[in-house]
Structures are given as structure tokens and as C-alpha cells.
Amino acid sequence: MLVAIETGMRVGELTALKKSDIRDGFIYVHRQQIKVPKTDANDKIHFEEVNYTKNERANPKGGRLIPITKECQRALDIAFSLQGESEYVFHHPDGRAVLKDSYEYYLRRRCKALGINTRNNHAFRVAFNARLIEAGVAGNERCLVLGHSMQTNERHYSFSDRRRAEDVKNKLDGIDKAV
């Protein structure tokens, strides 16, 4: 959860994250864990790791880089201290990767226990985008980090227009006074 808050990574990207993907001050996001549905009544739902992210399935670009901030590094350090050996950042003591559904279930339980209304990882992505906006990161740069198009970012992630209406008002008032 801490890494999700600090990076805005999708659930499938978090659960497929390997230690080798963390280097030179960046997280290299280029794979995801996906749920494979049943094909018949005897089949079981299972998870696979694929070498593309949600936005690059049809239009591969070689992945994306997410900068590792000080807070992100602290969260990664906690993950690196998990019991057991594994190539995965998030793993069980026996080395198996954490599954998407397990993470999502854990997240819902923790948020409920803490009295937090929002109970999904997508809220972390939206909040991370808002932090990027507040930091003055340009829209095209936010899209590079979050892994989606400008249109998707503006439509589903950028709620800054509501939060920053007072800033716009103050800027406009400043223009009126200068004239």
C-alpha cells in the first residue's frame, strides 16, 4: 500500500514488480499480473504475469519509469525487509508473489479497519496524480509516470479543477487588479 501511495502503480503492476526492476533511482514498470478467467467448468481462475502494462498491451512502448522519492524509498525498504527470499518485491515468506486479489482484499480490510471510505488502489493513483499536479508536473509528464494518455488523465484522474478553483479565482483577481 505504501508503494502504491508513493508511485500510483496499478495493482497488477505492483504484484508483478521484481527487485531487478528497481535501479538507478527509478522503478521500471513493464509487466503486470493478470487474472485469467475460467475456460470451462473444470478450470480454475489463475493469475499470469505478462510483459506489458495495461496501457501498452495494444501499443507497446517499452514500459515506463517512476522516480523513486525519499518516501518511496522508505516504502521499498520496508518491502525489501519482508521475510523470505524472492525475486518479487512483494512476496509471501515462501517466495511466491502476492496475487492481485489478495492485495485488493487486504487493502479493503485495512481501509475498513482504519475507517477510510475509499477501499481500492485506484484512489491511490488519483491521489498521486493530484500530488503531481500540486508539484507543478506537466500533464504529459504525469501521463508518462502514470502510464496513460492525456485524455484519460484529464477525464479520470485530474480533479484539480475542483480543488484549485480558489487558486484560479485569486489569479483572476490579481489580473483584474493589475489592469
**pLDDT on residue 147:** 86
The CATH number of residue 136's host domain is 1.10.443.10
**pLDDT on residue 155:** 63
Do residues 143 and 149 make contact, with C-beta atoms less than 8 angstroms apart?
Answer: yes
Q: In terms of residues, how long is the chain? A: 179
Q: What is the pLDDT of residues 65-109, one digit of tens each?
A: 999 999 999 999 999 999 999 999 999 999 999 999 999 999 999
- DSSP tag of 61: -
Q: How many domains does the chain have?
A: 1
- The parent domain of residue 56 ranges over 2-178
Helix axes 122-134, 139-146, angle to 10 degrees: 150
Looking at per-residue pLDDT, the higher value among 146 and 13 belongs to: 13
**pLDDT on residue 171:** 79
The percentage of residues in the chain with a pLDDT greater than 70, rounded to a whole number, is 89
Per-residue pLDDT band at 162 (split at 50, 70, 90): low
Q: In the chain, what's the furthest Cα-to-Cα distance?
A: 75
Whole-model pTM: value is 0.82
